[in-house]
Amino acid sequence: MIPLLSGLVALVLIVSLLIIRRLRKAHTAPLVSSPSEIRLFSQVTYDSLHKATDGFSSANFVGAGGFASVYKGTMESGRNIVAVKVFNVQSRGNIKSFLAECRTLRNIRHRNLVRVHTACSTIDYSGKEFKALVYEFMPNGAWRGGSMVTRKSKTQTRN
């Protein structure tokens, strides 16, 4: 009986260590799904985006589109205010949208487009897939990092 319990405890310990190791690697996973695209952006973790947006709080909610929601965030340095576009990855089409946006925006430089700072493709605290793009934040302005314009900017342009 004791050898059986010892073996069972050892098995549970090994499986637990493997799960913890996998979760730690997930928080520093590549920024995009394709290995050839890893070098396109500097890395950012889910944890740093979660902190920057106060847990993706409604107070920092900027707006939503068909594929994603956007939150205002302040990065840990306190100097960089960013817009974090969090993709709804429940649908396969949204993952394709994330990858297409990464590919498109890496080559685009235009004065009327918001600059992409980085991307994040990892697992969140609940073990679900998480994909986000981090843009320069434009207060009270049009946000063209995925065809979304804030309500405030629409009303200001009418006046």
Binding annotation for ATP = 85
Characterise 30 by phi-psi region: left (phi > 0), alpha (psi -120 to 50), beta (else).
beta
Which residues contribute to the annotated binding site?
A: 85
| DSSP per-residue codes, the chain | -HHHHHHHHHHHHHHHHHHHHHHHHHHT--SSSSGGGGGGSEE--HHHHHHHTTTT-GGGEEEE-SSEEEEEEE-TTSS-EEEEEEE-TTSHHHHHHHHHHHHHHHH---TTSPPEEEEEEEE-TTS-EEEEEEEE--TTSEETTTTEE-HHHHHHHH-
